[in-house]
Amino acid sequence: MNLEYTDEQLAFRQEVRAFLEAELPESLSAKVKSGKTLNKSDIEQWHAILNKQGWLAGNWPKAYGGAGWNAVQRHLFEEEMTGASAPRILPFGLAMLGPVLQEFGSAEQQEYYLPKVLNGEHWWCQGYSEPGAGSDLASLKTRAEREGDHYIVNGQKTWTTLGQHANMIFCLVRTAKEGKPQEGISFLLIDMNSEGVSVRPIVLIDGEPEVNEVFFDNVKVPVANRVGEENKGWTYAKYLLTHERTNIAGVGFAVAGLESLKRIARTEQSKGRPLIENPYFAAQIARIEIDLMAMSTTNLRVISKAAAGQAPGAESSMLKVKGSEIRQAINALTRSAIGSYAMPFVSEELEPGSNALPVVPDYAASVTGAYFNNRKLSIYGGSNEIQRSIISKALLEL
């Protein structure tokens, strides 16, 4: 295994860097850098720029309109994106549904849905979690009963990220009650504009309605919208979750967060000296940086295996656990660094065109919101407790 980049890979990094310098709108990078909320049009604008370049779906084969990059190229692209403060590419249609359709979808589904993911016609959200079926996904109760060439769907999904913007949702639904809980689940593609679908926002502790509850009341879904075989949805769900967990290691976000923490610590004072010169505070930064370097190396090992054609296994769970712990540690230490500025959190300051008077330095305005929001990192995508169980069974054989 070689963890050194080749000349060709370094040239690719330079190509991405030059593209971002030329094409990333300053208005978007400024929003990302200051932690302001990106609206729907911001995300659509950035997706359109990347799609025009052919780089929106780096993980897709060229045959489906993707960039056809290998694992190393995707890693380098993500590093440059976070380094340039570019908006994050939304994963739901591109990193989650797309690979499932390419692996298990029919030719008709691939031909119809995949182009609409790329051109933005379809904004997808994920319908996995339910009240009582989050980390224990096999307990889901939303049911789909077959009536001729349709299913009738009833139930509720929750924690549906950005579902208020979506016009399509991919869902796990129960289509049989017999057998193990993992059996009898199917994977459906549902139009959010169907009669009987309703969305209710959930305002989080940071004041943002980032997630939603989605209700299905006798929603009619064509059987043609089922991906793969009936009652085999658990297989497709696991395939999707492996991609999701690898993606949420968030190495690039952690690197950017650590750099921001260091900048703040050089500005804030402790006993008349820059905070970063305080031995105790510096030791905490060093501990996080060492953990981040170790995780980055593990991430490169996984990427190296993926580039050699090996699918990630329990390593995805390791990256998910450690990645969320490191990012939360950075959030906590950054909040500590700004001291009393963490108290007067005025979320309106982060909105475009806000008339709210600034009460904290620019670099402090988003810190508390990010701290609260990122409590979710150790919960979504399968909680860290669940990931530790996977690791103990798969690697330690416990």
- Whether residues 257 and 199 fall in one domain: no
Q: Give residue 357's pLDDT.
A: 62
pLDDT band at 350, cuts 50/70/90? low
Residue 193: inside a domain, yes or no?
A: yes
Asked whether residue 153 carries a pLDDT value surpassing 90, the answer given is yes
Residue 85: inside a domain, yes or no?
A: yes
Q: Give residue 325's pLDDT.
A: 96
Residues 237 and 242: their CA atoms lie apart, in Å, by 9
Q: Give residue 169's pLDDT.
A: 98
Report which residue type is found at 310.
Q
Asked whether residue 246 carries a pLDDT value surpassing 60, the answer given is no
Asked whether residue 374 carries a pLDDT value surpassing 70, the answer given is yes
Instruction: Pick 395 or 355 by higher pLDDT.
Output: 395
Q: Which domain holds residue 316?
A: 247-396
Contact (CB, 8 A) for 264 and 338: yes
Read off the pTM: 0.85
- Whether residues 254 and 274 fall in one domain: yes
- Whether residues 19 and 131 fall in one domain: no
Asked whether residue 241 carries a pLDDT value surpassing 80, the answer given is no
- Whether residues 272 and 383 fall in one domain: yes
Q: What is the pLDDT of residues 259-279, one digit of tens each?
A: 999 999 999 998 899 999 999
Contact (CB, 8 A) for 85 and 32: yes
- Whether residues 230 and 135 fall in one domain: yes
- Whether residues 44 and 148 fall in one domain: no
Q: What is the pLDDT of residues 312-328, one digit of tens each?
A: 678 888 888 999 999 99
Asked whether residue 248 carries a pLDDT value surpassing 70, the answer given is no
- Whether residues 286 and 355 fall in one domain: yes
Residues 296 and 308: their CA atoms lie apart, in Å, by 18
Asked whether residue 147 carries a pLDDT value surpassing 90, the answer given is yes
Residue 304: inside a domain, yes or no?
A: yes
**Burial grade of 218 (CB within 10 A; 0-12, 13-18, 19 or more):** exposed
- Whether residues 265 and 214 fall in one domain: no
pLDDT band at 75, cuts 50/70/90? confident
Query: Domain boundary residue among 189, 209, 236?
Result: 236
Contact (CB, 8 A) for 157 and 129: yes
pLDDT band at 366, cuts 50/70/90? confident
- For the chain, what is the domain count? 3
Q: Give residue 349's pLDDT.
A: 63
Q: Which of 341, 327, 349 is CA-nearest to residue 267?
A: 341
Q: Give residue 382's pLDDT.
A: 77
- Whether residues 43 and 175 fall in one domain: no
Check which CATH number belongs to the domain holding 194 and give it: 2.40.110.10
- Whether residues 361 and 228 fall in one domain: no
Q: What is the pLDDT of residues 111-133, one digit of tens each?
A: 999 999 999 999 999 999 999 88
Asked whether residue 221 carries a pLDDT value surpassing 90, the answer given is yes
Query: Domain boundary residue among 188, 203, 236?
Result: 236
Residue 222: inside a domain, yes or no?
A: yes
Instruction: Pick 345 or 66 by higher pLDDT.
Output: 66
Report which residue type is found at 377.
L
- Mean pLDDT of the 149-173 span: 96
- Whether residues 252 and 382 fall in one domain: yes
Query: Domain boundary residue among 205, 236, 267?
Result: 236
Residue 106: inside a domain, yes or no?
A: no
Check which CATH number belongs to the domain holding 83 and give it: 1.10.540.10
Residue 206: inside a domain, yes or no?
A: yes
- Whether residues 306 and 274 fall in one domain: yes
Q: Give residue 140's pLDDT.
A: 93
Residue 99: inside a domain, yes or no?
A: no
Q: What is the pLDDT of residues 1-34, one digit of tens each?
A: 566 789 999 999 999 999 999 999 999 999 998 8
Check which CATH number belongs to the domain holding 354 and give it: 1.20.140.10
